Amino acid sequence: MRLSTQSIWTVLVHLSAFALQAHAIDVDINSESSLKSAASEATYGAFKWYYGNETGQIPGAFPDKWWEGSQLFAAALNYWHLSGDTTYNEEVSMGLQWQGGDKGDYMPSNYSSYLGNDDQMFWGLAAMSAAEMKFPDRSSGYSWLSLAQGVFNTQKARWDTTSCGGGLRWQIFVYQAGYTMKNSVSNGGFFQLAARLARYTDDNEYLTWAEKIWDWSVSSPLVNNQTWNVADSTQCADDCANAGNVQWTYNYGAYLMGAAYLYNYTSDSKWLDATNGLLQKMSTTFFPHGNIIEDITCEPREICNNNEILFKGLTSQWLAYVALLVPSTADTIWPKLQSSGTAAAASCTGHNNNTCGVRWYQSKYDGWTGMEEQISVSQVFSANLLKYGNGVGPVTSKTGGDSKSNPNAGEGVTDSKPTYKPITGGDKAGASILTIGFVGGWIVIMVFMILGA
């Protein structure tokens, strides 16, 4: 058979297309088994960056980015829960336990001198998920539920009425740059934690706190209960008179998930209104490219830092749970998660090893590589898998949840003062890297928003 130049060319094009396809994550978003294998690939890629289970390493430790460990483990919990694959369970269980620290409240002394309320909260939510998924408590150590309660108790003690009539500050310690601010994710995350503890334990104290955090949030410029806009942060100096309006998926998601839990738990229409309002505003804000989720503040200019790369993955997961907890939202949410999952898979053609990128809406690999990218994609695949979970939602202590409760867990409500251990060179470096990263990024974004306005 003779081949013309033309047909040789065609064959080459097909071969190279085939070669590329062989290194993409192929996902049929309507197939449970396809989603499972895609989630397996992405989660494997995420754990390639984890060394905490190796000899001489510390379980769950992520030097210079401690909070991100909570997201690796949260993604792994979702993956296990919905696929049945136990590959990472022991590492997750060890890490989630170890970082609970001496008091069981995710203030481990190696990190506690510089971690913020949001960092601690995210570990608390991961532990809460473990309890709600019936991830087995360890035979010794802290139960998952008590770890979440430990975070709740320490944060409750930090509720700050010295400015703005209440609210949690972003940072815990005066020497941290974010101490002068109150922000949405810390308060929205605390609200969500309280809501989930209320539903799980049926203990009224958590419901009372969820309402208190919510009422304060809507009375501040952070959450607007008419337009459902969620701003990022506000300053204590002028008593939270105003807020910038930087938009992040996870700020909305934190409050949305809390409202959905409370509606599921109380059937109070107030929470349905909040759920619908926030979801509607998210729909018109974060999906400028069809139904594909996008952190619009950083993606178009490719200025997302590692924290920000995680936001839309964890928000996707929250959206999936909202669809389950408040079934009337399902028709709005699933098409978005399906388009996002399909686009995310198309971004996973990097390095000939299924490395995933940041900008899912481009539906191709965009050159970024990291644990954060892998975690986000794992999360959006698991989010889609929840549709095949036969409606099995987060359990409560009345529906099979058996994680042990300790309402007094954590450092205790009276002593929230840090013990100022001598800061080592390593701590300082870590703290200043974090601070420079956060504050620097924040300033860049504020300048960008101001100039752009």
Ligand X SMILES: *[C@@H]1O[C@H](CO)[C@@H](O)[C@H](O)[C@H]1NC(C)=O
CB of 389 to ligand X, least distance (A): 9
In the list 14, 48, 301, 428, the residue contacting ligand X (rule: CB under 6 A) is 48
| 81, containing H or E segment | helix 66-83
In the list 34, 40, 53, 332, the residue contacting ligand X (rule: CB under 6 A) is 53
CB of 207 to ligand X, least distance (A): 16
Q: Are 218 and 156 in contact (CB under 8 A)?
A: no
Contacts of 191 (CB under 8 A, 6+ apart): 210, 213, 214, 217, 254, 255, 258
> Between 69 and 178, whose beta carbon lies closer to ligand X?
69
> Between 206 and 286, whose beta carbon lies closer to ligand X?
206
- Beta-ladder partners of 233: 183
> Between 86 and 162, whose beta carbon lies closer to ligand X?
86
Say how far apart CA 296 and CA 318 lie, in whole Å: 18
Say how far apart CA 124 and CA 100 lie, in whole Å: 9
Burial of 85 (0-12, 13-18, 19+ CB in 10 A): middle
Q: Are 308 and 295 in contact (CB under 8 A)?
A: yes
CB of 291 to ligand X, least distance (A): 23
In the list 99, 120, 217, 317, the residue contacting ligand X (rule: CB under 6 A) is 99
Stretch that binds ligand X, among 1-9, 54-62, 288-296, 312-320 (CB under 6 A): 54-62
**Which residues in 333-345 are b (16+ Cβ under 10 Å) and which e?**
bbebbbbbbbbbb
Q: What are the phi and psi torsion angles at 116 (to 5°)?
A: -105, 170
Instruction: Please report the beta strands in 39-188, taking only residues with DSSP state E, as ranges in sequence order.
Output: 181-183
Stretch that binds ligand X, among 98-106, 153-161, 181-189, 290-298 (CB under 6 A): 98-106
CB of 304 to ligand X, least distance (A): 18
Binding to ligand X by CB under 6 A, coded x per residue (else -) over 349-388, reads --x-x-x-------------x-------------------
Residues 220-279 that bind ligand X (CB under 6 A): 225, 264, 267
> Between 271 and 287, whose beta carbon lies closer to ligand X?
271
In the list 45, 95, 258, 341, the residue contacting ligand X (rule: CB under 6 A) is 45
> Between 4 and 227, whose beta carbon lies closer to ligand X?
227
Binding to ligand X by CB under 6 A, coded x per residue (else -) over 202-221, reads ----------------xx--
Give long-range contacts, CB 8 A cutoff, 24+ apart: 211-218. Answer: 212/166, 213/187, 214/255, 214/258, 214/259, 214/274, 216/165, 216/166, 216/167, 216/187, 217/167, 217/184, 217/187, 217/188, 217/191, 217/255
CB of 422 to ligand X, least distance (A): 14
CB of 260 to ligand X, least distance (A): 9
Stretch that binds ligand X, among 97-105, 290-298, 332-340, 419-427 (CB under 6 A): 97-105
Say how far apart CA 184 and CA 223 lie, in whole Å: 8
Binding to ligand X by CB under 6 A, coded x per residue (else -) over 110-139, reads x-----------------------------
Say how far apart CA 235 and CA 68 lie, in whole Å: 26
User: How far from chain centre, in Å, is Cα 429?
Assistant: 25
CB of 452 to ligand X, least distance (A): 28
Residues 302-331 that bind ligand X (CB under 6 A): 324-327
In the list 62, 73, 88, 122, the residue contacting ligand X (rule: CB under 6 A) is 88
Which tokens belong to 416? 């929230």
> Between 177 and 320, whose beta carbon lies closer to ligand X?
320
> Between 64 and 300, whose beta carbon lies closer to ligand X?
64
User: How far from chain centre, in Å, is Cα 198?
Assistant: 20
| 353, containing H or E segment | none
Which tokens belong to 432? 């200043």
Stretch that binds ligand X, among 5-13, 42-50, 77-85, 422-430 (CB under 6 A): 42-50
Residue number of the CB closest to ligand X reads 393
Of the candidates 296, 262, 266, the residue with the CA atom closest to the CA atom of residue 188: 262
Residues that bind ligand X (CB under 6 A): 44-45, 47-48, 53-54, 58, 61, 88, 91, 98-99, 101, 108, 110, 218-219, 225, 264, 267, 324-327, 351, 353, 355, 369, 391, 393-394
